[in-house]
A and B are shown apart, each in its own frame.
Chain A
């Protein structure tokens, strides 16, 4: 009997929760704010769904209900991707060690 592909995706999902659990516990508490902003940015990978939705129209009608929601979702996710990664970068650039030459 074939295994339903859903089971494979469920396996990936469950294992990723465990990976996430151990990876996040090893994040140093002083970087918890960048952790939140970067998780924000990566969860915006939902943009792949938005792109599929946006391109769902055909050449005669680019805009239909489905693609309009897709385009809006693209814009929202893009705000998050650019905003999230850049603000994380900005924060991380500020974390410096004590200067030794004092």
Chain B
């Protein structure tokens, strides 16, 4: 058994190690070391908790058994999960953090003595407020992440689910949560605690269903943030510094990522959260679409164009992930490089279904990270490049965002693909992208459409090079 002061110091150390873990991610070289700091911080926190309880009864064995069960499931998933499924995995993990926070809060509510929070029915007011906030945010994180997971996994349709009176309903529920917390603190009634949990689960569910598939980067980041705030809420209840620091770090990290993602789409956070984007305009845009001529080509034409180029820029998008084309793409690039063609990759901030999704897929395919560039770094290079190879991206290349103030995506930062001498656009059909609008790029003089599955087309091009 160690003193409360000593364990508080160790919790502080593990909090600092978590800060260093995030700091390490500022560059790929330091990132692996950062991850080790994170692991070390976790080991310290868990060990200190054991030592400070000092109760090595039979219960202790069960703690180890449950850590082992959870740990082996987690390790199994971590090794088996394909990189393309990373967004689902992260959404799933968020739901677990949320649920764990709910469980800890329930446990503290029914047995406050174990946590030094007073006795049941007379929990210290401050602790009760913190506990109920932690539980409510945890429950919202849980049910929200489950919906995000189902949408990403394709079990649930990615299209927004909207109904009349949705926003007023959500607003009423959110207000009722605040009232419930107030009443709970005034009465200490356990019934109100359960109602609070049920209502929080419900609102988490309702908040995410109207948000469409391509807005998932924002949703995942937002839920990341929530899971942090839930942890911080529980940290206040348990008076645990490690949890408070971590909760604050994760909370602000998720908030920053949401901000970056919203900026990448030139939309306000509220616009994304209120949802329904792309659900309404799709019918109108297909109705008044005039038939415009497109040039389409085959793998042979594409190979010819690329062979005569001196620099090629690749623009990957979510379609590449769906087609699992990243390895085929890297093989094509290898062949290009053998012919002394300069190749770089351009990544839009919201390409894919989560922040940094494309970067991970390219890294998996052994693409060196110094050939991969962000939008601002590479956008001026399109004018000097010979060929842009757009694979699985659509809306993020649409020049309409710069020219047509009527367009729903007007003002969104886009890759200046059309400035290239020629554009190769791999796509299965001419269908509009997620935003439900036609891409002007399809009809440009210098665009060659390659209608095929991304993976198959890339392989065919490689054969023809």
Contacts and interface: CB of A to CB of B under 8 A. Distances in A.
Given A44-B100, A48-B46, A29 B374 contact: yes
A74 B113 CA distance: 19
27 contacts: A6-B126, A14-B248, A16-B244, A19-B249, A24-B22, A30-B363, A31-B359, A33-B356, A34-B31, A36-B220, A37-B90, A47-B45, A49-B237, A51-B50, A52-B53, A53-B115, A56-B113, A59-B57, A65-B111, A67-B59, A69-B103, A76-B103, A77-B70, A78-B70, A78-B73, A85-B35, A94-B363
A12 interface: yes
B356 A35 contact: yes
B242 A78 contact: no
Interface string B235-262: 1111111111111111111101100100
A20 B251 contact: yes
A47 B252 contact: no
B70 A9 contact: no
Interface in A62-96: 62, 64-67, 69-96
Contacts of B89: 37, 83, 87
Count class of interface residues, chain A: 35 or more
A44 B97 contact: yes
Nearest to B89: A87
A87 B73 CA distance: 13
B283 interface: no
Contact of A51 (B53, B126, B254): B53
Nearest to A44: B97
Nearest to A37: B90
Given A24-B253, A77-B100, A46 B35 contact: no
B294 interface: no
B322 interface: no
Nearest to B357: A33
Contacts of B79: 86, 90
B227 A40 contact: yes
A1 interface: no
Contact of B253 (A9, A20, A65): A20
Contacts, number: 385
Contacts of A89: 32, 35
Interface string B335-371: 0000000000001010000111101100110101111
A85 B63 contact: no
B207 interface: no
A17 B252 contact: yes
Interface of B: 11, 14-15, 18-19, 21-23, 25-28, 31-32, 34-35, 38-39, 41-42, 45-46, 49-50, 53, 55, 57-60, 62-63, 66-75, 77-79, 81, 83, 86, 89-90, 93-94, 96-97, 99-101, 103-104, 106-108, 110-111, 113-115, 126, 220-221, 224, 227-228, 231-232, 234-254, 256-257, 260, 347, 349, 354-357, 359-360, 363-364, 366, 368-372, 374
Nearest to B248: A16
A48 to B, nearest CB: 4
B93 A42 contact: no
B385 to A, nearest CB: 19
A98 B49 contact: no
B28 A40 contact: no
Contact of A96 (B22, B237, B247, B366): B366
Given A97-B28, A97-B369, 14 more contacts: A9-B239, A13-B248, A41-B42, A46-B104, A53-B103, A53-B111, A55-B63, A75-B67, A76-B99, A78-B69, A82-B70, A84-B93, A86-B78, A86-B79
Nearest to B14: A45
B356 A16 contact: no
A95 B39 CA distance: 20
Of the candidates B49, B70, B244, the one having the most CB atoms from chain A within 10 angstroms of its own CB is: B70
B46 A51 contact: yes
The list of the 9 closest CB pairs from A to B, nearest first, reads: A78-B70, A32-B356, A83-B74, A66-B111, A56-B114, A82-B74, A16-B248, A32-B355, A86-B78
Given A39-B22, A46-B243, A85 B250 contact: no
B38 A38 contact: yes
A86 B78 CA distance: 6
B74 A86 contact: yes
Nearest to A77: B100
Contacts of B21: 38, 42
A25 B67 CA distance: 33
B71 A81 contact: yes
